[in-house]
Amino acid sequence: MPSAHRADCGAYTDRIAEAARRGAAAVIAERRCKIADIGVPLIRVDDVKTASSRIFAARYADDIGKHVKLVAVTGTNGKTSVSHMISHILECAGYRVGTIGTLGAAMDGRAYAESPETSSMTTPPPEELYRIMAEMAADGADYIVFEASSQGIAQGRLEGLHVLDCPLSAAVFTNLSPEHMDFHPTMEDYYSVKKRLFTEFSPERKIINTTDAYGARLHIEVGGIAVDEKCVLDAVMHSVDGVSFTFASQNCAFPVHIPSPGRYAVENGAAAVSCALALGIDADDITRAMRTFYGVRGRMEKVPADLPFPVFIDYAHTPAALEGLLKTMRETEHEKRLVVVFGCGGDRDKTKRPVMGEIATRLSDLAIITSDNRRTERAADIINDIVAGVLRGVEYVVIPDRALAIKFAIMTSHEGDVVVLAGKGHETYDDADGVKTHFDEREVVHAAAKLYALADSIRYTQ
């Protein structure tokens, strides 16, 4: 079913004609498009993306059914962590739960995405999204927890929710900070798109992090459950082994321990706990579940390497995320240096590059600037943009080869240090010149750990 969604719709005429020759039953096009007689019914719509989303949802509506409950999580940072926390709590409470987001679509260990391209999308395209939901429902899902990206909302991928009989049981807002500014012209546009999840899709429960300025504004404008400082009491977050706090609501207070370090584990955990309570999950079940939530791949992930210092991998690839990550690690108990390895992606928002350079050199003891999915840009150009923002007089290192940068960070670190690899997170590839090649930072860390042990043994024998 070809779609014409740009003003120069004539560019699609040949493709539409070819689709008709191959047996297309009809063509859906926007009203502004001038399309000649093609011999099959032509259906005019205002927005073809919205229409296609509703069509695919209708195609799978009976398969999805009425019994599945949907939970959507939106925001700039924390969507993946919060959605997986919610899923884990629900699973520990005895429900079968499907999860859809940046890490793919899965339930009970089964992957549902058909292609690497769609499996890495935060919110899959409608032809994938509603098929996945239908398959999860057929496999017995009680809940489906999914990440709602601003692009997914703006491009109409969620419009099909209006066609389904199953409710949007809850919507969660984590925070908002500059990202995708190559897609959104202003922060106000970015915010207004996120807000649509709460105004246009009628979630039965609205859970909003009001410690974030945009979250506080959203709560004023749409109401719902506020997750604020009053919800988190007696927080202990200075250990690399995890965080502990008392979660307090109007009706109860109970202990929460999460085996992931840092204040963002507290913030994300409070949002997930609040959502679970709103869905009717017992406090004892929540406490037990959070004790066994060992994190999300690529989100404050501690690499189990044989090294005298911890190495963490995190997806932080925006200024706010990088600053939050480094501040979190600053708060943990370590004696010596904080070393960060990071880069910026090519063909993406260039304005954040010098900002991240400033943040890295301000908050770390050693910043190692390297590559990160340069795509069609030159690594040197991206790195130069980053270096333009570094603090004057602060030591930093530039190593364009990311594997070498990681090995350098490990080989020059010692007991009492903390090493953080920021930017790639769950990704296991490097994207350059239109080709994705295998690159898993965990493998690089383990290889470097062997070299570290060898070098240490040589020093010892001498």
The per-residue pLDDT for range 306-319, each reduced to its tens digit, is 999 999 999 999 99
Would you say residue 147 has pLDDT above 80?
A: yes
CB 204 within 8 A of CB 167: yes
Do residue 332 and residue 280 come from a single domain?
Answer: no
How high is the pLDDT of residue 115?
58
The CATH number assigned to the domain holding 327 equals 3.90.190.20
Asked whether residue 296 is assigned to any structural domain, the reply reads no
For the four alpha carbons of 246, 247, 253 and 255, in that order, the dihedral sign comes to: negative
Three-class SS of residue 319? helix
Which of 313, 259, 278 is closest to 86 using CA atoms?
278
Distances (CA, A) of 4 to 56, 88, 109, 127, 253: 17, 41, 38, 17, 54
**pLDDT of 6 strictly over 80:** no
Choice between 126 and 30, residue whose per-residue pLDDT is larger: 126
Distance CA 144, CA 112 (A): 13
For residue range 148-192, what is the model confidence (pLDDT) as tens digits? 999 999 999 999 999 999 989 999 999 998 876 567 789 999 999
CA dihedral sign, ordered 370, 376, 378, 384 = negative
Q: What pLDDT does residue 5 have? A: 37
As a whole number of angstroms, the distance between CA 199 and CA 154 comes to 14
Q: For residues 48 and 28, is the Cβ–Cβ distance under 8 A?
A: yes
Which CATH number covers residue 246?
Answer: 3.40.1190.10
Q: In total, how many domains does the chain have?
A: 3
**Structure-token match 């005429």, residue found:** 13
Domain that holds residue 119: 52-291
Q: What is the token pair recorded at 315?
A: 């997806």
Residues 315 and 247 in one domain: no
Mean pLDDT comparison of 5-14, 23-32, 333-342, highest-scoring range: 333-342
33 and 65 share one domain: no
The model's confidence at residue 284, banded by pLDDT at 50, 70 and 90, is very high
Q: Which of 159, 169, 200, 163 is nearest to 65 (CA)?
A: 163
Q: Does 253 share its domain with 209?
A: yes
Secondary structure class of 3 (helix, strand, coil)? strand
Q: Which two tokens stand for residue 119?
A: 């499996």
- Global confidence as pTM: 0.79
Q: Share the mean pLDDT of the chain.
A: 91
> How many residues does this entry show for the chain?
462
| Same domain, yes or no: 319 and 396 | yes
- Give the model's pLDDT for residue 461: 56
Last residue of a domain, one of 238, 267, 291: 291
User: In terms of domains, do 74 and 17 share one?
Assistant: no
The pLDDT value given to residue 117: 55
CA gap 76, 162 in Å, rounded? 24
pLDDT tens, residue by residue, 445-457? 999 999 999 987 7
Structural tokens at position 371: 């590559």
For residue 410, what are the contacts with CB-CB under 8 A and spacing of at least 6? 307, 311, 419, 445, 448, 449, 451, 452
Top-confidence residue, 179 or 196: 196
The reply to whether 142 and 37 lie within a common domain is: no
DSSP element (H, E) containing 446: helix 441-461
End-of-domain residue from the set 267, 291, 315: 291
Question: Do the beta carbons of residue 376 and residue 355 sit within 8 Å?
Answer: no
pLDDT at residue number 1: 36
151 and 189 housed in the same domain: yes
Same domain assignment for residues 38 and 65:
no
pLDDT category at 22 given cuts 50, 70, 90 is confident
Spatial contact of 448 and 407, defined as CB atoms under 8 Å apart: yes
Q: Quick check: 88 pLDDT over 60?
A: yes
Q: Which residues of 44-64 are buried (b: 16+ CB within 10 A; e: fewer)?
A: ebeebbbbbbbbbbebbbeeb
Of 291, 311, 339, the last residue of a domain is: 291
In-domain check, residue 73? yes
The pLDDT of residue 346 is above 90: yes
User: CA angle at residue 206 from 201 to 211, to 5 degrees?
Assistant: 130
Is the pLDDT reported for residue 382 higher than 90?
yes
Q: Max alpha carbon distance in the chain (Å)?
A: 85
Contacts of 214 (CB under 8 A, 6+ apart): 175, 176, 191, 194
Whether 150 and 191 have beta carbons less than 8 Å apart is answered as no
The answer to whether residue 334 scores a pLDDT higher than 70 is no
Higher pLDDT, 295 or 252: 252
Q: What percent of the chain has pLDDT over 70?
A: 94
Q: Using DSSP, how many helices (H) and how many strands (E) does the chain show?
A: 15, 22
d(CA 129, CA 146): 10
Which pLDDT belongs to residue 122? 87
Report the pLDDT value the prediction gives residue 66, as an integer from 0 to 100: 94
Q: In this structure, are 20 and 155 located in the same domain?
A: no
Report the alpha-carbon distance of residue 3 to residue 35 in Å, rounded.
12
* CA end-to-end distance (rounded Å), the chain: 71
Residue 395: how many CB atoms within 10 A of its CB? 11
**Cα 178 to Cα 142: distance, rounded to the nearest angstrom:** 35
What is the C-alpha separation between 75 and 190, in angstroms, rounded?
Answer: 10
Q: Report the pLDDT value the prediction gives residue 33, as an integer from 0 to 100.
A: 77
Q: Find the mean pLDDT for residues 88-102.
A: 97
Alpha helix (H) residue ranges in 255-302: 263-278, 283-291
The span from the CA of 28 to the CA of 26, in Å, is 7
Residues 79 and 112 in one domain: yes
Amino acid identity of residue 258, one-letter, is: I
Task: Judge whether residue 328 has pLDDT over 90.
Answer: no
Give the model's pLDDT for residue 447.
97
In terms of pLDDT, which residue wins out, 55 or 43? 55
Shared-domain flag, residues 451 and 379 = yes
Does residue 111 surpass a pLDDT of 80?
Answer: yes
DSSP-derived 3-state class of residue 320: helix
Q: Is residue 190 in some structural domain?
A: yes
